[in-house]
């Protein structure tokens, strides 16, 4: 029998619930905004061979997205979809059941799996791709977030989560703008494509006006088929029931229509596309508007243009007011674009500028874009995007959606390729890469050419100086203009300081006091008298004005005489100074043996060449000057500062 205090109260506890089966793991979803459009990204852990591991990472992703208030998914879901299947493969090689694998499992060496996954990413993507680094960074961020909140974290995994990503970020090649010739080609091709689109839509509306319900009036008439496309009566199955399988058995007018409007598609699917594209723009048609608007709106990005809706435009007699949203920068601004008053009018003057041509300026282009998509918005009332295209969706039906310009066959490179070749707008092609951001940089180059000025002026209101310097000032055109400006500045300096002395013969030296002779030398009569009398003697030459030297600040005495006198336009040489000049040549040749060749060339090279030119003109006086040096014991007089500055 137990003693007092030894009796214990026992309570029954419910058994610990078993882990939920894979099929009951719910879908994790993140909702975010992209260009004012609600988007969803989801992960279903039950779709993975390791559902518990996928669920842990997906839960961490949802929590990380919510607590950091992320604007987009940033590739975290892609990192999970890439890592979990790879981890399953490695765990199976190790003999571990992936169905019950969790991050807390001490048996699984997750740092080793992460290392192998990183090496596998490098083999799957090109050498210059940033995707491996991006996926690795996202996974490490999720693991770090999980390790800070999980109650039991293996020490090795904790240390790996605290470390940076194992892969380094690749520096991609910086995009350059299109050349001026390519800019003109793109503009001309876009204008031609826009005219073709408007002609096609006008013909489609004419057919629609004469068409009627094909269920009552027949399926063989083209206007009736266009009417059916406008009222949503067409489908692949319906057309297959009305037309033979092979195009050659169709009526001739339908074959011609398919060739003109089908964009290369054949069969019933091509006819379905052609009938809709006679009424609605497709994505390839909208490239022309993107190119022309980016060339015209120098302060607008492709993302801002792409995100425009009909309510964002406010037209009036003077132009259009456009509300532009840059979602990555959380900035919304309203800009007014004036209409061209006359042919050739352009709000910003510049040779390389995109000139407004009435309907080709910003208000005109936006009006035409609104008109091109008017029937699309009428038929599909939910679409307000300016860049709405009607395309084949899921291979069975034509539906509208905002153009993305990223699907196969619908990118800018495909638009350019379709117009490349003999007799086309791009006979020699367009330089790669065919990236719409290069159009943006071309428009920024227009601003550089038109405005010039400092980086602050060029950055304008839509960029900081740092952003403009990092992303736009590196372009070829900007470099060429900067180099040209530098060359002009240097040429002015060199023209000023690069000259040769004026030689004065003994017969002319005695007449320097006369006004006519002094004026021919470019000095006043008083300066001529001072030169004649040796008042302006600088040692190896005379100087017209020692206080106006190109090598010194105006008003201050020249501090480089006589070292630079041989290359100064102010210098005046008398034959009587030849002994000093010969001694200076001897000194220069002596310094050739003392100084390094590059140093001697930089310090004395130009003076040596100038003296050689002087001696060539006064060759008959050289023997007498050499004799005077020997007979009179002439010595070279150089300032002490010159010896310390030039002879070391």
Over residues 268-311, the pLDDT tens digits come to 888 888 899 999 999 999 999 999 998 888 777 788 888 888 88
Cα 86 from chain centroid (whole Å):
36
| Chain segment 308-323, per-residue pLDDT in tens | 888 888 888 888 888 8
Question: Rg (Cα) of the chain, in Å, rounded?
Answer: 40
Cα angle 531, 537, 539; round to 5 = 150
Q: In degrees, to the nearest 5, what angle opens at C-alpha 378 toward C-alphas 377 and 383?
A: 25
Q: How far apart are CA 26 and CA 49, in angstroms?
A: 15
Give me the residue spans of the domains in the chain.
22-162, 452-485, 498-646
Q: Yes or no: say if 455 and 465 are a contact pair by the CB < 8 Å rule.
A: yes
Closest CA to 385 of 290, 292, 297, 275: 290
| CA angle at 615 for the pair 609 and 619, rounded to the nearest 5° | 150
Residue 277 and residue 270: Cα distance in Å, rounded?
10
> Which of 503, 631, 511, 483 has its CA nearest to residue 571?
503
Asked if 356 and 296 count as a contact pair (C-beta separation under 8 A), the reply is yes
> Two tokens at 356?
């407004």
Whole-number Å distance between alpha carbons of 474 and 482: 10
Structure tokens at 179: 């050349």
The position carrying tokens 């055109």 is 477
Pairing relationship of beta strands 542-543 and 571-574 according to DSSP bridges: antiparallel
- For 8-62, write each residue's pLDDT tens digit: 443 333 343 333 343 345 888 887 766 556 778 888 998 999 999 999 999 999 8
Residue 223, C-beta contacts closer than 8 angstroms, at least 6 positions apart: 207, 208, 210, 211, 212
pLDDT band at 89 (very low <50, low <70, confident <90, very high): very high
Structural contact between residues 425 and 188, judged by C-beta atoms closer than 8 angstroms: yes
Taken as a whole, the chain contains a residue count of 648
Share of the chain above pLDDT 90, in %: 15
Are the C-beta atoms of residues 27 and 44 closer than 8 Å to each other?
yes
Q: Tokens in use for 78?
A: 């892609």
Determine how many CB atoms are found less than 10 A away from the CB of residue 557.
Answer: 11
pLDDT at 23 (0 to 100): 38
DSSP 90-139: HHHHTT--GGG--TT-TTS-HHHHHHHHHHHHHHHS-TT-SHHHHHHHHH
Can you give the pLDDT at residue 453? 55
Question: How large is the average pLDDT for residues 473-487?
Answer: 67
* Stretch 631-641: mean pLDDT: 71
CA pair distance 67, 123, nearest whole angstrom: 34
In this structure, what token pair is assigned to residue 168?
């380094």
- Burial class of residue 161 (count of CB atoms within 10 Å of its CB; 0-12, 13-18, 19+): buried
The overall average pLDDT reported for the chain is 78
Question: What tokens does 45 get?
Answer: 């852990």
pLDDT of residue 13: 39
CB 327 within 8 A of CB 71: yes
Degrees to nearest 5, angle at CA 460 with 459 and 462: 90
Two tokens at 148? 């800070």
Between CA 580 and CA 591 the distance in angstroms is: 16
Q: Above 60 in pLDDT, residue 582?
A: yes
Helix, coil or strand: residue 232: coil
pLDDT digits (tens, 9 = 90+) for 371-393: 999 899 888 876 688 898 998 87
Range with the largest mean pLDDT of 23-37, 111-125, 168-182, 438-452: 111-125
Lowest-confidence pick of 113-117, 196-200, 595-599? 595-599
Nearest by Cα to 76 from 141, 151, 148, 128 = 141
More confident: 207 or 7: 207
What is the pLDDT at residue 40?
80
Q: Where do runs of H (alpha helix) occur along 330-361?
A: none
Question: Which pLDDT score, from 0 to 100, does residue 179 have?
Answer: 80
pLDDT, position 144? 92
Residue 206: pLDDT over 50: yes
Q: At residue 250, does pLDDT exceed 80?
A: yes
Instruction: Provide the pLDDT for residue 21.
Output: 40
Rounded to whole angstroms, what are the CA distances from 612 to 118, 211, 594?
69, 94, 20
3-class secondary-structure state, position 596: coil
Q: Are the C-beta atoms of 133 and 167 separated by less than 8 Å? A: yes
Q: How far is CA 226 from CA 209, 283, 595, in A?
A: 9, 20, 89
Q: What is the DSSP string of 143-174?
A: HHHHHTT-S---HHHHHHHHS--SSPPP-PPP
Residues 583 and 512 sit within 8 Å (Cβ to Cβ)? no
How many CB atoms sit inside 10 A of residue 255's CB?
A: 15
- Contact 149/86 with Cβ under 8 angstroms? no
Residues 453, 155: contact at Cβ < 8 Å? no
In angstroms, how far is the first alpha carbon of the chain from the final one?
110
Return the pLDDT at 290: 92
- What's the pLDDT score for residue 350? 37
Interatomic CA distance for residues 353 and 335, integer angstroms: 19
| DSSP conformation class of 420 | B
Distances, alpha carbon 303 to alpha carbons 112, 329, 436, 585, in Å: 41, 11, 10, 68
The burial of 351, by beta-carbon neighbours within 10 Å (0-12 exposed, 13-18 middle, 19 or more buried), is given as: exposed
- Residue 56 DSSP SS3: helix
Give yes or no for residue 548 having a pLDDT over 80: no
User: Is a pLDDT exceeding 70 seen at residue 473?
Assistant: no
pLDDT at residue 511 above 70? yes
pLDDT tier at 646 (50, 70, 90 boundaries)? very low
Residue 90: per-residue pLDDT: 93
Q: How remote is the C-alpha of 470 from its chain's centroid?
A: 9
Report the pLDDT averaged over residues 473-500: 64
Residue 33: CB atoms within 10 A of its CB come to 11
> Residue 175 is encoded by which pair of tokens?
């995009």
Statement: residue 570 has pLDDT above 80: no
Residue recorded with tokens 């058995």: 249
Interatomic CA distance for residues 296 and 176, integer angstroms? 19
- Is the pTM higher than 0.85? The answer reads no
d(CA 403, CA 389): 6
Predicted pLDDT at 1: 40
pLDDT number for residue 526? 78
The Cα 586–Cα 579 span in angstroms is: 11
φ, ψ dihedrals at 28, nearest 5°: -95, 135
């Amino acid at each position: 029998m137990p003693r007092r205090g030894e009796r214990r109260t026992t309570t029954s506890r419910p058994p610990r619930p078993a882990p939920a089966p894979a099929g009951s793991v719910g879908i994790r979803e993140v909702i975010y905004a992209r260009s004012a459009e609600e988007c969803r990204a989801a992960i279903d852990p039950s779709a993975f061979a390791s559902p518990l591991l996928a669920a842990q990472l997906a839960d961490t992703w949802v929590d990380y997205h919510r607590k950091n208030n992320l604007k987009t998914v940033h590739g975290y879901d892609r990192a999970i979809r890439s890592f979990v299947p790879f981890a399953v493969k490695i765990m199976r090689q190790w003999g571990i059941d992936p169905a019950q694998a969790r991050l807390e499992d001490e048996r699984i060496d997750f740092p080793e799996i992460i290392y192998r996954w990183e090496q596998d990413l490098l083999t799957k993507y090109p050498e210059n791709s940033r995707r491996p680094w991006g996926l690795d960074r996202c996974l490490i961020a999720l693991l770090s977030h999980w390790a800070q909140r999980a109650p039991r974290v293996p020490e090795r995994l904790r240390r790996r989560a605290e470390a940076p990503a194992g892969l380094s970020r690749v520096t991609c090649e910086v995009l350059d703008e299109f050349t001026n010739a390519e800019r003109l080609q793109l503009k001309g091709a876009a204008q031609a494509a826009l005219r073709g689109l408007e002609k096609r839509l006008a013909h489609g509306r004419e057919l629609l006006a004469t068409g009627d319900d094909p269920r009552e009036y027949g399926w063989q008439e083209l206007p009736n088929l266009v009417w059916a496309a406008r009222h949503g009566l067409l489908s692949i199955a319906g057309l297959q029931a009305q037309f033979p399988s092979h195009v050659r058995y169709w009526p001739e007018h339908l074959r011609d229509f398919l060739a003109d409007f089908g964009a290369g598609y054949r069969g019933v699917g091509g006819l379905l596309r052609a009938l809709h594209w006679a009424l609605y723009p497709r994505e390839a048609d909208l490239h022309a508007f993107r190119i022309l608007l980016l060339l015209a709106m120098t302060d607008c990005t492709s993302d801002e243009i792409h995100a425009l809706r009909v309510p964002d435009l406010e037209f009036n007699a003077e132009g259009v007011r456009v509300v532009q949203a840059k979602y990555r920068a959380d900035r919304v601004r309203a800009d007014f674009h004036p209409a061209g008053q006359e042919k050739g009018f352009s709000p910003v003057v510049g040779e390389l500028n995109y000139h407004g041509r009435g309907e080709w300026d910003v208000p005109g282009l936006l009006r035409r874009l609104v008109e091109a998509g008017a029937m699309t918005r009428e038929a599909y009332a939910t679409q307000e995007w300016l860049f709405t295209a009607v395309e084949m969706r899921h291979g069975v039906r034509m539906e509208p959606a905002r153009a993305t310009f990223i699907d196969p066959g619908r990118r800018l490179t495909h638009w350019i390729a379709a117009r490349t070749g003999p007799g086309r707008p791009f006979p020699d092609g367009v330089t790669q890469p065919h990236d719409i951001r290069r159009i943006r940089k071309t428009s920024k180059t227009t601003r550089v050419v038109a405005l010039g000025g400092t980086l602050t002026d060029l950055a304008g209101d839509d960029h900081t100086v740092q952003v403009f310097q990092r992303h736009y000032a590196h372009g070829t055109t900007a470099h060429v203009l900067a180099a040209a400006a530098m060359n002009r500045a240097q040429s002015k300096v060199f023209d000023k300081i690069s000259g040769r002395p004026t030689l004065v013969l003994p017969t002319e030296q005695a007449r320097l006091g006369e006004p006519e002779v002094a004026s021919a030398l470019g000095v006043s009569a008083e300066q001529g008298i001072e030169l004649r009398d040796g008042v302006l003697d600088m040692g190896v030459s005379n100087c017209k004005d020692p206080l106006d030297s190109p090598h010194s600040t105006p008003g201050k005495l020249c501090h480089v005489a006589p070292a630079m006198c041989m290359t100064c336009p102010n210098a005046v040489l008398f034959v009587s100074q030849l002994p000093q000049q010969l001694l200076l040549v001897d000194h220069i040749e002596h310094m050739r043996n003392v100084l390094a060749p590059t140093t001697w060339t930089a310090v004395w090279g130009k003076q040596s060449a100038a003296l050689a030119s002087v001696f060539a003109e006064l060759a008959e006086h050289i023997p007498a000057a050499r004799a005077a040096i020997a007979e009179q014991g002439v010595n070279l007089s150089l300032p002490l500062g010159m010896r310390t500055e030039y002879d070391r």
